[in-house]
Structure 1
Amino acid sequence: MVICKMLRTLCPVIALLLTVLFGDVVRADEENDYYRMVSIAAPEAQTESRDPNWKPSDDGIALEVSGIAVLSPSRLAVAIRKGEVWLLDGVDEVTGDDDSERVSYHRFATALHEPLGLLHHDDSLITVQRTEMTRLRDTTGDDVADEYETIASGWGVSGHYHEYAYGPKLDPDGNLWMTLNIGMGLKGEQLKQIVPDAPFGYRQAAWRGWAMKVTPRGTLQPVCAGMRSPSGLGANADGDMFYTDQQGNWVATNSLNHMRPGAFFHHPESLASMELEGSTIHDVAKVPNGIAYPEALKRFPQMQPPAVWFPYKKAGQSATDILLDSSGGGFGPFAGQLFVGEFTQASINRVFLEKVDGEYQGACFPFRRGFASAVLRMAQAEDGSVYVGLTNRGWSSLGTSPYGLQRLTWTGETPFEIQEMRAKPDGFELVFTRPVDVESASDVRSYGMTSHTYLYQSSYGSDEVLKRHLNIRKAIVSEDRMRVELKVDGLRELFVHELDAHGVLDANGKPLLHRKSFYTLNNIPQK
Structure 2
Amino acid sequence: MKHSLLFILLSTPLLAASYKVEDIKFPPSVPPEVGGIDFAPDGTLFVVLRRGDVMRATPAADPTQWKWKLFATGFHNGCGIDAVSRDKVRVTQMADFTEATDTNNDGIADQYRIFAAGWGLSGNYHETNTIAEDGKGGYYIAIGTASHNGPTAEHTLGEYSKFGRRGRNFASVKWRGCTLYCDSKGNLSPFCFGFRMHNGIHQDSSGNLWCGDNQGDWRATTPLYHLKKGNFYGHPSALVWDERWPEGKDPLHTYREDLEAYNEHRTWPSVQIPHSEMNRSAGEPHEIPKNFPHFPGQMLLPDNNSKRITRIMLEKVNGKFQGACTHFLNGGGLRSGNHRIRFSSDQQQIYIGQTVRGWGKEAEGLQRITPSGKEPFDITAFNITPQGFKITFTRELERELATKDLKFKSFTYQSKWTYGSPQENRIDNKVESVRRLSPKTVEVTLDRFKPGRVYQLDLEELKSKEGDKIQNQLFYYTANQLP
**TM-score, scaled relative to structure 2:** 0.91
- Give how far 1:269 is off: 0.8
Counterpart check, 1:323 vs 2:291 = no
Secondary structure of residue in 2 paired with 1:104: coil
Residues 67/522 of structure 1: CA separation in 2 closer, same or farther (3 Å cut): same
1:462 aligned partner: 421
Q: Separation in 2 of the partners of 1:120 and 1:445?
A: 51
Distance 2:357 2:250 in 1: 39
Deviation, structure 1 residue 20: 6.3
* 5+ residue gaps, structure 2: none
Instruction: Please say if 1:453 is aligned against 2:412.
Output: yes
- Partners of 1:365 and 1:36 in 2: CA distance: 19
Task: Provide the secondary structure at the position in 1 that maps to 2:237.
Answer: helix
SS of the aligned residue for 1:23 comes to: helix
On the 8 A contact 2:202/2:211 being kept in 1, the answer is yes
Aligned to 1:32: 16
Q: SS of the residue aligned with 2:450?
A: coil
Matched-pair contact (CA < 8 Å) for 2:50–2:78 = yes
Correspondence 1:153 to 2:112: no
For residues 522 and 192 of structure 1, the distance between their equivalents in structure 2, rounded to whole angstroms, comes to 40
Equivalent in the alignment of 1:473: 432
- In structure 2, what is the Cα distance between the partners aligned to 1:196 and 1:390? 33
1:519 alignment partner, one of 468, 477, 482: 477
Contact (CA 8 Å) 1:74, 1:92: kept in 2 or not? Answer: no
Aligned to 1:411, which of 372, 376, 380?
Answer: 372
Match for residue 139 of structure 1 among 99, 103, 106: 103
Structure 1 residue corresponding to 2:26, chosen from 39, 42, 45? 42
Deviation at 1:70, TM superposition (A): 1.7
Aligned match of 1:488 in 446, 454, 478? 446
Distance 1:424 1:71 in 2: 43
Instruction: Say whether the 8 Å CA contact 1:435–1:507 is kept in structure 2.
Output: yes
1:374-413 matched pairs, under 5 angstroms: 374-383=337-346, 384-397=348-361, 402-413=363-374
Are the counterparts in 1 of residues 451 and 480 from structure 2 also a CA contact under 8 Å?
A: yes
Which of 419, 438, 452 is the equivalent residue of 2:399? 438
Q: Where does residue 128 of structure 1 map in the other structure?
A: 92
Hey, which of these two has a bigger chunk of helix by percent?
1
Shift of 1:511: 3.0
Instruction: State the one-letter code of the partner of 2:77.
Output: E
State the AA in 2 paired with 1:88.
A
Q: Deviations over 1:106-141 (max 9, x none)?
A: 100000111002122366322111111122222221
| SS, match of residue 288 in structure 1 | helix
1:288 and 2:247 correspond = no
The farther-off stretch of 235-244 and 183-192 is 183-192
Corresponding position of 2:330: 369
Tell me if the contact between 1:127 and 1:133 (Cα under 8 Å) persists in the aligned partners.
yes
Q: Deviations over 1:328-387 (max 9, x none)?
A: 243x23111110010111211111111111111111111112213311211100232011
Change (3 A) 1:19 1:345: farther
Partner SS state of residue 319, structure 1: coil
Contact 2:129–2:141 (Cα < 8 Å) also in 1: yes
Q: Output one character per residue of 1:68-119: Cα deviation in whole Å (capped at 9) or x when no partner.
A: 1123676311111101100123x2322xxxx50x211110000011100212
Q: Distance in 2 between matches of 1:482 and 1:308?
A: 25
Q: 1:343 aligns with which of 304, 307, 327?
A: 304
Alignment correspondent of 2:318: 357
Instruction: Report what 1:241 is aligned to.
Output: 209
1:191 Cα deviation from its structure 2 partner: 7.9
Q: Where does structure 1 lack aligned partners over 5 or more consecutive residues? A: 1-16, 45-59
TM-score, scaled relative to structure 1: 0.83
- Give me the identity figure in percent: 27
Shift of residue 200 of structure 1? 10
CA pair 410-503 structure 1, distance change in 2 beyond 3 A: closer
Q: Which amino acid aligns with 2:463?
A: L
Deviates more, 1:114-123 or 1:483-492: 114-123
**CA apart distance, 1:396:** 0.6
Q: Which amino acid aligns with 2:479?
A: L
Rounded Cα–Cα distance in structure 2 between residues aligned with 1:85 and 1:510 = 44
The answer (yes or no) to whether the contact 1:448–1:472 under 8 Å persists in 2 is yes
The 5 Å alignment of 1:272-287 reads 272-275=240-243, 287=254
Q: Which of 247, 253, 268 lines up with 2:236 in the alignment?
A: 268
The reply to whether residue 86 of structure 1 matches residue 55 of structure 2 is: yes
CA contact (8 A) 1:474 1:487 kept: yes
Gap change, CA 1:36 and 1:269, over 3 Å in 2: same
Find the counterpart in structure 2 of residue 48 from structure 1.
none
- The change in CA–CA distance for 1:444 and 1:287 in structure 2 (over 3 A counts) is farther
1:10 matched residue in structure 2: none
The one-letter amino acid paired with 1:33 is: A
Matches within 5 A, 1:159-308: 159-166=123-130, 168-185=131-148, 189-190=153-154, 195-196=160-161, 198=163, 204-275=172-243, 287-289=254-256, 296=259, 300-308=263-271
Question: How far apart, in 1, do the equivalents of 2:10 and 2:224 lie?
Answer: 24
- Cα pair distance change 1:352/1:174, threshold 3 Å: farther
**Which stretch shows the higher mean deviation, 376-385 or 505-514?**
505-514
Task: Measure the CA separation in 2 of the matches of 1:161 and 1:315.
Answer: 27
Taking structure 1 as reference, are residues 113 and 267 closer, same or farther at Cα in structure 2, changes over 3 Å only? same
Q: Aligned match of 1:116 in 79, 93, 98?
A: 79
> Where do residues 66-105 of structure 1 align in structure 2 (5 Å cutoff)?
66-71=35-40, 75-89=44-58, 91-94=59-62, 99-100=63-64, 102-105=65-68
Distance 1:184 1:456 in 2: 18
Q: Deviations over 1:229-258 (max 9, x none)?
A: 110110223111011101111110111101
Number of corresponding residues? 472
Question: For the aligned residues, what is the CA RMSD?
Answer: 2.7
Q: Is the 8 A contact 1:284 1:302 kept in 2?
A: no
Q: CA 1:34–1:285 in 2, change beyond 3 Å: closer, same or farther?
A: closer
